[in-house]
Homo-oligomer: A and B are copies of this chain.
Amino acid sequence: MRDIVFIERDPYAPIRHCYTVSKILYQGKSPYQEIQVIESPEFGRMLILDGVVQLDEKYEFLYHEYLAHVPLHAHPNPRNVLIIGGGDGGTLREVLKHDIVERAVLVDIDKEVIEVSKKYLPTLSVGFQDPRAIVVNEDGYKYVQDYENEFDVIIVDSTDPVGFAHVLTTEDFFRHVYKALKEDGIFVAQTESIHYHLEMVSNIQQRLKKVFPIVDLYTSVIPIYAGYWWTFSIASKKYPVRTPAREVKVQTKIYDADMHEYAFLPESFYNKIVNGEYKY
């Protein structure tokens, strides 16, 4: 009963993960990507886009809590939040745990991911029912260019930066983000792993440093993402980011004030990563 497996094909990983499949819940194709939802006995439901696992129900909090709560706690007053990507709703759910947030705009180019999540991933998509959530099905890269001095926090919750998500790691995009943020705004993006994507991490950090005065990197260990020691690149116009600026009141599984600080690497190791001095 255990031999039906999903074998991941992640073009950015030197390893392939095999998951036992107990049920195939959905298989379809949007204009942008192939979408699958499977059920695994060990991980719960899993969302797969173009053959790459995006999330599982059991461990997704290790990604979504860190992506949302670090920038939102580094900001003393995050009222207006923009999420680019994140159609599954996990990041939106975490953002809306902050009572201080008045409006969370989620811009995902692929409407069908959102519909699939609403139907098959109820614990992820719960935030779509919140009146503070606004969903826009547009290209996030273009969307952000229409705004100036608008958002307190901008979060990029994208697929791997290959194909149509690649533009979300360019200096050009970071300049648009800078403009769309208020004068004390904070930006964060998932930026792959230290172990398998070190050069990409370093390049993104260097590009961000050309645009923002405060740039840093924090991490979470995420089992379903090959590379595991996952990075989030954070950039701030004004506030320091290594410690929470507000009391942590949100209910979480792992994130708290101590884990916020611990997510940031020692400065010495961080500098080695950015400067290309840490090598395998």
Residues of A within 8 A of B (CB): 5, 7, 14-20, 40-43, 58-59, 194-196, 221, 223, 226-229, 253-254, 256, 258-259, 261-262, 265-269, 278-280
| Complex contact A18–B19 (CB within 8 A) | no
Q: In this complex, what residue of B is CB-closest to A195?
A: B223
CB-CB < 8 A to A15: which residues of B?
Answer: 17-19, 42, 223
Q: How far is the CB of A194 from chain B (nearest CB, A)?
A: 8
- A20–B9 alpha-carbon span in the complex (Å): 13
| Complex contact A268–B254 (CB within 8 A) | no
Q: How far is the CB of A84 from chain B (nearest CB, A)?
A: 27
CB-CB < 8 A to A229: which residues of B?
Answer: 221, 228
- A55–B252 alpha-carbon span in the complex (Å): 35
| Complex contact A268–B258 (CB within 8 A) | yes
Q: How far is the CB of A260 from chain B (nearest CB, A)?
A: 10
Copies in the complex: 2
| Complex contact A269–B278 (CB within 8 A) | no
- A196–B58 alpha-carbon span in the complex (Å): 11
Beyond A15-B19, A221-B195, A223-B196, whether A279 also contacts B253 by CB under 8 A is yes
Can you show 8 pairs from A to B with CB atoms below 8 A apart?
A17-B17, A195-B223, A196-B223, A221-B221, A221-B228, A253-B279, A258-B267, A259-B266
- A55–B222 alpha-carbon span in the complex (Å): 20
Q: In this complex, what residue of B is CB-closest to A61?
A: B280
| Complex contact A278–B254 (CB within 8 A) | yes
Q: Of the candidates B16, B42, B227, which one forms a contact with A17 in the assembled complex, judged by CB atoms under 8 Å apart?
A: B16
Q: Of the candidates B7, B262, B266, which one forms a contact with A269 in the assembled complex, judged by CB atoms under 8 Å apart?
A: B262
Q: How far is the CB of A163 from chain B (nearest CB, A)?
A: 21
Beyond A14-B43, A221-B229, whether A195 also contacts B266 by CB under 8 A is no
Q: Of the candidates B7, B194, B253, B269, which one forms a contact with A258 in the assembled complex, judged by CB atoms under 8 Å apart?
A: B269
Q: How far is the CB of A72 from chain B (nearest CB, A)?
A: 20
- A20–B279 alpha-carbon span in the complex (Å): 22
- A258–B266 alpha-carbon span in the complex (Å): 6
- A196–B229 alpha-carbon span in the complex (Å): 15
Known: A14-B40, A15-B17, A58-B280. 20 other contacts (CB 8 A): A14-B41, A14-B42, A14-B43, A15-B42, A17-B18, A59-B195, A194-B221, A195-B221, A221-B228, A221-B229, A223-B227, A223-B228, A253-B280, A254-B269, A254-B278, A256-B268, A258-B266, A258-B268, A262-B265, A262-B266
- A43–B17 alpha-carbon span in the complex (Å): 15
- A125–B18 alpha-carbon span in the complex (Å): 32
CB-CB < 8 A to A43: which residues of B?
Answer: 14
